[in-house]
Structure 1
Amino acid sequence: MHTTPSDPLQIARELASEFARNVVERERLGGTPKAERDALRSSGLLALSIPTQFGGHGATWRETFAVVREFARVDSSIAHVFGFHHLMLATVRLFATPEQWQPWFELTARKHWFWGNALNPLDTRTVVKDHGSWREFSGKKSFCSGATDSEMLIASAVDEGAGGKLLIAAIPSGRTGITLHDDWNNMGQRQTDSGSATFERVRVEESDLLLDPGPLSTPFACLRPLIAQLHFANIFLGIAEGAFEEARGYTRNEARRWFKSSAAHNTEDPYVLGHYGDFWVRLQGARLLVEQAAQALDHAWAKGAQLSAEQRGEVAIAIATAKVAASRDGLEICSKVFEVTGARATQASVGLDRHWRNLRTQSLHDPLDYKLHELGDWALNQRLPTPTFYS
């Protein structure tokens, strides 16, 4: 396997082809996809978004998300933890000082570190105790995607002594006091290790804390939630593309013509063709919106500290639009593929149902209705979304 990704998308395709061989069985079993995560380490793709001067490939967000989509077509759990890894790297880049994030980037590229998530700002059960020159995190955290089998974690805790301020830190996953629980058993995204973590008097040094400029402190720092949202949109689109391709193969090679059909072959049935036409239109629309949003994010990222609040808001609108389209159209496609594949396609060995379950599970990360509310406020009143960890 390559150590320097000279052609990241081609390497991703090769890996995805390998992952596809046992994805249905792995998805059924759940748990940590250790072999697949190690393959990602060996591939060099964990350094994809890291600038070249720090040992990475220097990929744009558009290029990084193209790899996420490539994985999502086959294995959306792998796509999720891979994309979250790059989101965690963006988190330290946006919230920390260069003296902090530059060494982390260099070590990640050199040692093939995997970064996991224990942030979840809505889960306030982990609290801070201040010891002057260092802090202590104690409590539980849910939805810790990719935390298992990671080298570094982005973790958050509430500082009750500072009025409930959220403190975010980058800490080694193996630090004393951190326990990652194998308690993720949901209907979809079953190999994302999105269960819980327990922090028992975990020592957090001042140099671990992401305080300067800190969370959501500037328009540039406020790109972090937008990267997360576009990551989800690319997963949704990738899942829908994968469902489409699997259904297409099944329709052409396995599905039987309905006995009342006037067509000689199932591939000529007017209703089947009508469904595929609808799938195509939905996919093309979502692709264009996702690509447009990625270009907007790259332009904003390039502005750095010069990014204005209004410019950031315009990117938020583009990404929210793409996410809504990819979510709704993806769910529709992943549900209706059974109408063009037939009853035999519901066999567990086919695994076609995993696409809908995975998309449905991930799409509940934050309510679509609130995205539409934000977009409606923009469309009607020209009010840009207020930055939060979810918009």
Structure 2
Amino acid sequence: MNDPRPPLSQASTQDHATQTKGDARLATLIEALRSSAARRDLAGGHAAAEKQLIADAGLLALAVPHEFGGEFGKDGTRWVRLYDTIRTIARADSALAHLLGFQFLQVATVDLWGNAAQRANWLQGTVEHRWWWGNAVNPLDTRLVAQTDEAQGKGGWRLHGKKGFCSGTTGSQMMTVSGHDPATGNPVFAVVPTTRAGITVHDDWDPIGQRQTDSGTVSFDAVEVRAAEVLLRPDTPRASLRTLVSQLVLTNLFVGIAEGALVEARNYVLANGRPWINSGVPRAADDPYLQQRFGEMRIKALSAAVLADRAASILDAAWEQGDALDAATRAEVSLAVSEAKIVAHRAALDAGEQLFDACGARATSAALALDRFWRNARVHTLHDPLDYRVRDVGRHALTRELPEPTLYT
């Protein structure tokens, strides 16, 4: 993949030393996550120690703009680099990569939807206090009701009910949340501390994959939302980029899963592979059919990675336009994201299955947990129907009609 960093000749020695130190921290983190990934996948639960390693590696503020003390916009750090970090972690552990990706998403939510005071407060606070952010924003889930709170004065709300698929809420300090206003039918978006009175984070996340994403249910019992905590989402193309930031998080998770499955399959075959009795070759690695299988896995993973990088670059260009971003340019980003996500979706599922055809029967040992790649991909690839994305891409190919903004495009 293309390295988004500037050439050394364009960077100061200090910048290069800082980047080298960051790369070393990331490499150490990846090795720690990889060494325990299978065991933790089998156990499930909350990965508190591993989340601390991510925080210690200095990754929580990557999406915070440089003006607020973060890394975004500094030394060439843009969405391309953030997604590459997610993908790199996903090769070893897609659940922890998901948590970091959703950390970036909530920070971006504040950056896109917050006013000047909110951005300064919460973005600087993320840097200074190393906050983990949780997510309780899912407007399709209307069980969480927002009611005006006259006791607070103008702009105050109370939240009653539940929200599902709340990734990252366990162990978080802050969360974004959306409640359903029955009076208008519109969502109410806000930021609240996870420890606020009336909030209960439930340990009820029990999927077949992505077992450590802390994506359970959160209950709200008359939870106070102050006027200063309400996010007034602008009706602009730039504000709607949040959806595409989210979709590229998932896309890069898929790419990382495909690449990680390929690495695990290669390592297993080289260490444990046996040539088939009719192959006529001394080593499994010399089997032409096995080589063809690895070639197919590599081509699909590489294609997904290239399209994901392309979409991230297009997102970066749109992001740089700020409030000048128009609807047509935003739609071009949406199309690129769908194209990348379709290929990455297929690559992740295929690699998770082909891994076993490459490695053989002994690779099905439960202790190895090699099925986690397929399980993790299968859980995430169900977040929105692939058919509708293919339809959008096909419609554009035929008529040049661009996708309309939705919760998923």
State the TM-score, normalizing by the size of structure 2: 0.92
Q: Which residue of 2 aligns with 1:135?
A: 157
Give CA deviations for 1:72-91 in whole Å, capped at 9, x if unaligned: 00111100010000100111
Could you tell me which residue of structure 2 aligns to residue 180 of structure 1?
Answer: 201
1:150 aligned residue: 172
1:274 matched to 2:295? The reply is no
Q: Which residue of 2 aligns with 1:56?
A: 70
Question: Would you say 1:247 and 2:265 are equivalent positions?
Answer: yes
Residues 287 and 382 of structure 1: CA distance in aligned 2, closer, same or farther (over 3 Å) = same
Distance 1:370 1:142 in 2: 23
Once the two structures are superposed, the pairs formed by residues 8-87 of structure 1 within 5 Å of their partners are 8-58=22-72, 59-87=77-105
* Structure 1 residue 7: Cα displacement: 4.7
CA contact (8 A) 1:5 1:11 kept: no
Work out the CA distance in 2 between the residues paired with 1:7 and 1:221: 34
Asked if 2 retains the 8 angstrom alpha-carbon contact of 1:116 and 1:147, the reply is yes
Alignment partner for residue 225 of structure 1, among 243, 262, 268? 243
CA pair 5-145 structure 1, distance change in 2 beyond 3 A? farther
Amino acid at match of 1:141: K
| Residue 5 to residue 243, structure 1, CA distance change in 2 (3 Å) | same
Structure 1 residues not aligned, in runs of 5+: none
Identity of aligned residues (%): 41
Query: Which is worse superposed, 343-352 or 172-181?
Result: 343-352
Q: Conserved in 2, the CA contact under 8 Å of 1:145 and 1:194? A: yes
SS at match of 2:368: coil
Q: Which amino acid aligns with 1:160?
A: P
Check the 8 A contact 1:137/1:202 in 2, yes or no.
yes
Taking the aligned partners of 1:30 and 1:297, their CA distance within structure 2 comes to 34
Distance 2:395 2:219 in 1: 39
CA displacement 1:1-49 (0-9 Å, x = unmatched): xxx8765444222101011121111111111100011112222210112
Match of 1:316 among 334, 338, 345: 334
| The 10-residue stretch of structure 1 (354-363 or 19-28) with the greater mean CA deviation from structure 2 | 19-28
Secondary structure in 2 matching 1:179 = strand
CA contact (8 A) 1:5 1:57 kept: no
Amino acid paired to 1:158 = H
Describe the superposition over 1:172-207 as per-residue Cα deviations: whole angstroms up to 9, x where unpaired. Answer: 000000000000010000000111010000000111
CA deviation profile, 1:291-313 (whole Å, cap 9, x unmatched):
10010010011111000100000
* 1:350 shift after superposition: 1.6
Change (3 A) 1:97 1:5: farther
For structure 2, the residue ranges without an aligned partner over 5 or more in a row are 1-17
**Two-structure CA RMSD over aligned residues (Å):** 1.2
Candidates 364, 376, 382, aligned match of 1:364:
382
CA distance in 2, matches of 1:385, 1:261: 49
User: Could you tell me how far 1:53 is from its partner in structure 2?
Assistant: 2.2
Q: How many residues align?
A: 384
1:104 matched to which residue of 2? 122
Whether 1:202 and 2:229 are equivalent positions in the alignment is: no
CA distance in 2, matches of 1:9, 1:60: 16
CA distance in 2 between partners of 1:360 and 1:131 (Å):
42
Residue 21 of structure 1: SS of its match in structure 2? helix
Matched ranges for 1:284-323 at <5 A: 284-323=302-341
State the Cα deviation string for residues 261-307 of structure 1 (Å, max 9, x = none): 11121111011011011112112211110110010010011111000
Q: 1:94 to 1:39 in 2, by over 3 A?
A: same
Does the 8 Å CA contact 1:128/1:159 hold for their aligned counterparts? yes
TM-score for both structures, normalised by structure 1: 0.96
Residues 1:95 and 1:6: Cα distance change in structure 2 (over 3 Å): farther
* 1:386 equivalent in alignment to 2:404: yes
Residue range with higher mean Cα deviation, 29-38 or 280-289: 280-289
Provide the C-alpha distance between the structure 1 equivalents of 2:403 and 2:207, rounded to a whole number of angstroms: 31
Task: Give the AA of the match of 2:399.
Answer: N
**Whole-angstrom CA distance in 1 between matches of 2:27 and 2:247:** 23
